[in-house]
Amino acid sequence: MALLNFATVEEFRLLPGIGAKRANLLLQSRDKYGQLDEELLSIDFGGPVPRNVLDMVDFTPNIHNADIPSQTEEWEELSSSDNVPDLRDIASAPTS
């Protein structure tokens, strides 16, 4: 069983239908998207992945490749002090 989200080029090449080009393409996809799944594998295969290949792979996530959110403009906007209500406004707001 090949753990796709941990595999090296050499380990990819042990799978049927995967040569050097496709193995490198799979590594590039994994680097770009963080994890490989059946959908990405089918894109890299150019169509449905043969059943014999799917039976030989495991899509267990590699937490070291997981997308870790960074501070994007949206994050910075959400965390800016401009978006935090002024406590004086809250304290003086009418209650129902």
- Please write down the HEC assignment for all residues of 32-54: HHCCCCHHHHHHHHCCCCCHHHH
On whether the CB atoms of residues 15 and 49 are closer than 8 A, the answer is no
Least confident interval from 1-15, 16-30, 54-68: 54-68
pLDDT at 77: 52
On whether the CB atoms of residues 4 and 36 are closer than 8 A, the answer is yes
Is the pLDDT reported for residue 37 higher than 60? yes
pLDDT band at 58 (very low <50, low <70, confident <90, very high): very high
pLDDT at 75: 46
pTM of the model: 0.64
Is the pLDDT reported for residue 30 higher than 60? yes
Q: Is 53 exposed, middle or buried (0-12, 13-18, 19+ CB in 10 A)?
A: middle
